[in-house]
Chains A and B, each alone.
With several copies, the nearest count.
Chain A
């Protein structure tokens, strides 16, 4: 089966992000009987986002399993099941509830392989969501991927398109390690091409979503769409922006990021998590160090404001990066104000 990291494929269809995720799960469940899904309202309801619709009909309640509201408990069951022969995909409805899984993921899943001297493995996937702007307030809007990226033993995946979502999720399910897979809730309806034939996308390979010469916009998850919008606006003022998507926070394709920075000499990093002590800090540091002698300006970071996400629409709207916001900052970084 080809590992596809580019956007060429013999036949593609338009799928939504949600459909791409659904298809990845269905294909892997068909291929491998050990794959099962655990989570709240994943079966008949197909999750509140309807991402899993139809799976219980095909695979039955033995493999698509509704759980009580016990995030720590069923994540822990996922860890143990993964150690003993299953390939569980654990569903955490809102990324905000990851707070409840930290011990299972960090003290257990991430460390089992190392602490056992390589004897036990934990091939599980924790699928969850991130992202604000749904008017869901502070406990249903967080993007907490920085925490997991900090923890050795975990891999962290953040797809930005239906194509990437499918290919990366299939890789995640086949990976021998615990993988945390973040889906932006606002992207579920986003449409894009997805190859008709089987493919996977390897971890640790960044993808250039748009080529450019004057500035590099490093963006994650739905911020890729934001960066692409900004790139259009920049083009209109004569600035050619490259948009590069690391796709996995860990492993991180440092080389590709540094190369792009060296080429353009100006970099902005955009992520929907809190800017402070968030993933933009790591990425900016890696680039500032690796491209030190080629940068014409400091690496600029743009993440969420350092506030709990407010409910009120006009307030919420200013807390996360937007296309026009990225455009303005990027233009300034290029010396045009």
Chain B
């Protein structure tokens, strides 16, 4: 797999505003997830959550290229996609705590946040469970003819599920505007992907008539560039694409996965954190290129920190749904 585009090879110049917005969204995801971990550790969060830390450049690079009425589907590791598509942290935290003010009135929780206002069709706790939904949204988009696209995020573990190939085939036959984004963070739970996936990942798209590329998922500008191309193809009626983003999750499979040495080394984790951190890489590039000063950037980080703190407090202070809400929303 080759990296098709990188920072230096950026195709069209991106406005400073956009660049800083990408930086901010990446900070938001990082800090959101740190708060989630904190909530878990303080036993304030029911159940578990799967953190996106380390993978921020993927969600942000892609969602920056989308319009608000474009669709995304997300996964069990979905907070990053939500934030990148424009969701508010306060209502996300409320959802994670099972509160009435949450995006799903507390009924969904971490793995099911959905938000029509930002085109988020929902996270999904079934691996590959949203492949059909995203393809169906692209089907609607094609019928509506307004140029919308759908992005289907999934981990490389989802490549084990046959339904992914069924819908890729359909999308290719019908030229549907859908981009299948595989976040290859090397592990499916506690197993390295090389133990569970044979053959070549990119061929898994091309074999079904879906043009496929790989990109360095730590490089937000590279992700953004290739995303723009794929989205343009989709909007132009030229059909689906498959994008493999090579990335890494810094923490455990879920917040409770603390002892990881039986499946990956501390050294490996350290290497990614030190030399391939997407926020560090973007910071370096922004400052080196003169797009922003270190102060500007740390100012943004601080703003985000304040926002997250307020958002968590809002969620903690929010009430649970009334018990009689339990039987509502089963049928529309």
Contacts and interface: CB of A to CB of B under 8 A. Distances in A.
A253 interface: no
B135 A76 contact: yes
A79 B132 contact: yes
B200 to A, nearest CB: 15
B191 interface: yes
B46 A139 contact: no
B23 interface: no
B134 A314 contact: no
Given A307-B327, A307-B330, A310-B107, A77 B112 contact: no
Nearest to B143: A86
B126 A97 contact: yes
Contact of A112 (B122, B161, B174): B122
A113 B106 contact: no
A312 B99 contact: yes
Interface string A312-336: 1111001100000000000000000
Interface residues of B, number: 77
Contact of B122 (A41, A78, A97, A120): A120
B197 interface: yes
B162 A73 contact: yes
Nearest to B133: A80
Nearest to B167: A73
A311 B140 contact: no
Contacts of A112: 114, 122
Given A73-B163, A80-B132, A80-B137, A115 B262 contact: no
Given A86-B143, A315-B321, A70 B161 contact: yes
A107 B108 contact: no
Interface stretch (A4-12, A61-69, A216-224): A61-69
Contacts of B47: 134-137, 311
B288 interface: no
A119 B332 CA distance: 9
Nearest to B327: A307
Contact of A311 (B109, B114, B150): B109
B59 to A, nearest CB: 20
A121 B329 CA distance: 10
Nearest to B139: A81
B115 A72 contact: no
Nearest to A48: B189
Interface of B: 46-48, 71, 73, 98-99, 102-112, 114-116, 121-122, 124-141, 143-144, 150, 157-163, 166-167, 169-170, 173-174, 188-191, 195-197, 262-263, 320-321, 323, 325-332
29 contacts: A40-B189, A44-B190, A66-B191, A66-B195, A67-B160, A67-B170, A68-B188, A68-B196, A70-B169, A73-B160, A76-B132, A76-B167, A80-B132, A81-B136, A84-B137, A104-B163, A114-B330, A116-B114, A118-B332, A136-B48, A139-B111, A139-B125, A153-B331, A155-B331, A312-B46, A312-B107, A313-B98, A314-B98, A315-B320
